[in-house]
Amino acid sequence: MVVQSALTHCSSIKTCNKPVTDFTSIPVINLGDPESKFLMVKACEEYGFFKVVNHRVPMEFITRLESEALGFFNLSQSEKDKAGPPDPFGYGSKRIGSNGDVGWIEYLLLNTNPQVLSLKTLTVFRENPEIFRSAVNDYIQAVKTMAYEVLELIADGLKIEPRDALSKLLRDENSDSCFRLNHYPPCPELEALSGRNLVGFGEHTDPQIISVLRSNNTSGLQICLKEGTWVSVPPDETSFFINVGDALQVMTNGRLRSVKHRVLANTQKSRVSMIYFGGPPLSEKIVPLTSLMGKQEESLYKEFTWSEYKTSAYKSRLADHRLGLFEKTPSTNQ
Ligand SMILES: C=C1C[C@]23C[C@@]1(O)CC[C@H]2[C@@]12CC[C@H](O)[C@@](C)(C(=O)O1)[C@H]2[C@@H]3C(=O)O
Ligand SMILES: O=C(O)CCC(=O)C(=O)O
Ligand SMILES: [Fe+2]
């Protein structure tokens, strides 16, 4: 994405006032800590968000994929466009989804099934598609393993039985998961003009069960706290950040909350992020887990399958409160 040509589209991309406080009290979970299951549940109840350290994902997988991603994003615009437009998989620039959202971003959206790694994507790597394919697959495999562990710890912490009630949905061969490589180029000109930041990825919640995010050392990610304050998440290239998604909120009958988040483009440095979105099979009914429900407790949500939710989500704009349509008593906040 060339800065000069992209600037001509700036008028449609939102800007944001910069000063937002740092999220200094971010819950940091060490996967080796015997207390981690309780700390995770507390973090998911309070924020729907936490940082994972001691994750056992080899740093080599992370750096290899980051360098492959940069290799792709540094190609000429016409080369990158051969891997687009996203349908939803493939290369996209500025447009996010198909309902009018735009941001200061370019990205590759991929299917996590190694067999289905989009042919369009591979066309860009004519010279050596296997290098890119194996970097993506090694990374996704390692991150999936960590996501299963995180979901099993959350199930333990919530006393859900069996403990794989959540993780089995991601382990399923029909799991509807996806993977995203995001690149937010710096935009120094804009700051000079207005002292504001361009929105890279507008505010939203992730529709799936859980998202596992890793970025380089460039700031930009912000989350929205319960009372509506936005805080900046200090970047940490050696750790992962976990987002609770809408489906997990429903499966816990609102006990864990899906976190509203957004990314602001940095004026000086480019940000590269990689996110695994763990979703259930399309046919899965998304309902509160019985072992979590009190005797008289009723579901806060109407019954729906992941396929129904996904169809509805993909018709929505980023900032829409997607779960609203499925709440028995529509909420006013969010
Ligand atoms: C505007 C949109 C982009 C999105 C599909 C949607 O219509 C609403 C949800 C968006 C989101 C957010 C999390 C993930 O980045 C994503 C891949 C997803 O599953 O839901 C994106 C969708 C997208 O970029 O296509
Ligand atoms: O790029 C990031 O850091 C987060 C992007 C995001 O929220 C998403 O792709 O859903
Ligand atoms: Fe997201």
Quote the pLDDT of residue 6. 44
Active site residue 171: no
- Closest ligand 2 atom to Cα of 275: 9
Model confidence at 262, pLDDT cuts 50, 70, 90, reads very high
Cα–Cα distance, 26 to 231 (Å, whole number): 10
pLDDT of residue 300: 98
Directed axis angle between helix 59-73 and helix 129-157, to 10°? Answer: 130
pLDDT number for residue 121: 65
Amino acid at 187: C
Q: Which of 177, 318, 320, 323 to mutate to test the pocket of ligand 1 (most atoms within 8 A of CB)?
A: 318
pLDDT digits (tens, 9 = 90+) for 18-38: 567 888 889 999 999 999 999
Assess contact for 69 and 272: CB atoms under 8 A.
yes
pLDDT tens digit sequence for 186-200 = 987 766 566 677 899
pTM for this entry:
0.94
- Distance in angstroms (rounded) separating the CA atoms of residues 73 and 65: 12
| pLDDT, tens digit (0-9, with 9 covering 90-100), for 100-130 | 999 999 999 999 976 665 666 666 665 677 8
Active-site annotation holder among 95, 271, 317, 322 = 271
Determine the Cα–Cα distance for residues 133 and 141; give it in Å rounded to an integer: 12
pLDDT for 11 equals 60
User: Binning pLDDT at 50, 70 and 90, where does residue 7 land?
Assistant: very low
Sort 113 into a burial class: Cβ within 10 Å, 0-12 / 13-18 / 19+. Answer: middle
* Contact status, residue 238 vs residue 212, Cβ threshold 8 Å: no
Atom of ligand 1 nearest to the CA of 88: 25
Q: How far is the CA of 251 from the centre of ligand 3 (A)?
A: 19
Cα–Cα distance measured from residue 334 to residue 250, given in angstroms and rounded to the nearest whole number: 15
Question: Best mutation site among 204, 224, 273 for ligand 2, i.e. most ligand atoms within 8 A of its Cβ?
Answer: 273
pLDDT bin (cut points 50, 70, 90) of residue 2 is very low
DSSP-assigned letter for residue 259: P
Tens of pLDDT, residue by residue over 292-326, are 999 999 999 999 999 999 999 999 999 999 999 99
Q: Which residues surround ligand 3, an ion (CB under 5 A)?
A: 206
